[in-house]
Amino acid sequence: GKGGYDHYMLKEIFEQPEAIRNAIRGRIDKDRGTAILSGLGLSPRELVDFQRLLIVGCGTSLNAGLVGEYAVESFAAMLAEVEQAAEFRYRNPIVGSKDLVIAISQSGETADTLAAVREAIDKGALVAGLVNVVGSTIAREAGRGIYLHAGPEISVASTKAFTCQVSVLLLVALKLARGRRMSRDEGVKITREILGIPALVQQVLEKNDAIAKIANNFIKCEHMFYIGRGYMYPVALEGALKMKEISYIHAEAYNAAELKHGPIALLDGNMPVVALMNRGPGQEKTVGNVEECRARKAPVLGVITEGDEEAKVACDWTIEVPDCPHYIATIVCTVALQLFSYHVARLRGCSIDQPRNLAKSVTVE
């Protein structure tokens, strides 16, 4: 059942500290500052030999993949790409024996992702699944992979799967990096940060009431913008996807740097902007973009680092999140935005666990 919560979605949001603990359990070697991912079935030699990591998925799993791409590039300095699974399949993908393909899917049954797995296997790539549902088709066909251990996700809107996927992708990035360029000390530091994720998520969950109050200001909206840069760009995408899916508000995500290349024309007093402004690379630039939004009268909800007064004064409302590196903040800020969309949808009286036109797993193309 819903364990006392009004909706499965809220229950699953609150399960995240535990789900992430389960996803990373037994997969961290603290002393050597690396990850243990035996499900990948790759020898140390194979781990350094392949030249490119290709990540495929759809929807929320695709957004998680984007975080994975950034993390692999920045930790391991190796080539990583993420592709929408259907695109991958229909574009005569350049993929072969020098590639590791990771297919991300909560359900393990998504038709487009499964087709991409088959295609990649046909072309001779090493294929691994990052799947939640044990024994699902993608898990079986990939043959190797990492289970999320997030527990069953009932709500159509994916929440804990995303934060577990990102947690495990950080471990993948760490593993690849430690086999290549990353020092043990740096690895140890990152393992500590990853182990700290559940506690940080818990701190965000404690803001639930405050976030519910802020949500009251957004129930009449027809449109919204979400902006972020770097690691915060996939967070903007995921935040906007969740908002569209459960509240039926048209929410668009843009890289903050893209605003002035067109979309800023849409901004006025009726176009609220949700901005990922927490401390980290590119933050000042995003704050600058927020000032441009305010100059066009767009109301701004900023996700900011606790105690960051400078960012706070640039916003109409703020959700404060604990200070952490941006690759960890992808999870922390996403949880804040999950709660935000949940409360907006609840206040609008939407059918949260079963949004119109959607199914939990998309087994047709």
Stretch 225-284 residues interacting with ligand M6R (CB under 6 A): 241, 245
Beta strand 144-147 with 99-105: parallel, antiparallel or unpaired?
A: unpaired
Q: Does 353 bind ligand M6R (CB under 6 A)?
A: no
Q: How many residues bind ligand M6R (CB under 6 A)?
A: 16
- Tell me which of 55, 72, 78, 156 binds ligand M6R, using CB under 6 A: 156
Whichever of 166 and 267 has its CB closer to ligand M6R, that residue is 166
Q: Does 22 bind ligand M6R (CB under 6 A)?
A: no
Angle at which helices 326-347 and 59-76 cross, to 10°:
160
> DSSP labels for 252-270?
EEEEGGGGGGTGGGG-STT
Give the 3-state secondary structure of residue 344.
Answer: helix
The residue nearest ligand M6R at its CB is 59
Whichever of 34 and 106 has its CB closer to ligand M6R, that residue is 106
The contacts of residue 88 (CB under 8 Å, 6+ apart) are 54, 56, 116, 119, 120
Contact 355, 341 (CB under 8 A): no
Least distance between ligand M6R and beta carbon 163 (Å)? 12
Stretch 83-142 residues interacting with ligand M6R (CB under 6 A): 105-107, 110, 113
Structure tokens at 5: 């919560």
Contact 58, 113 (CB under 8 A): yes
Q: Does 12 bind ligand M6R (CB under 6 A)?
A: no
Active-site position among 189, 207, 312, 360: 360
Q: Which stretch binds ligand M6R (CB under 6 A): 155-163, 184-192, 220-228, 295-303?
A: 155-163
- Contact pattern for ligand M6R over residues 44 through 73, marking x by CB under 6 A: --------------xxxx------------
Q: What are phi and psi of 255, to 5 degrees?
A: -65, 135
Q: Is 360 a catalytic residue?
A: yes
User: What is the b/e burial string over 77-103, where b = at least 16 CB atoms within 10 angstroms of the residue's CB?
Assistant: ebebbbbbbbebbeeebebeeebbbbb
Least distance between ligand M6R and beta carbon 250 (Å)? 16
Q: Does 16 bind ligand M6R (CB under 6 A)?
A: no
Structure tokens at 242: 């969740």
Contact 147, 139 (CB under 8 A): yes
Least distance between ligand M6R and beta carbon 251 (Å)? 13
Least distance between ligand M6R and beta carbon 358 (Å)? 6
Interface with ligand M6R (CB under 6 A):
58-61, 105-107, 110, 113, 156-158, 241, 245, 361-362
Q: Which residues are catalytically annotated?
A: 360
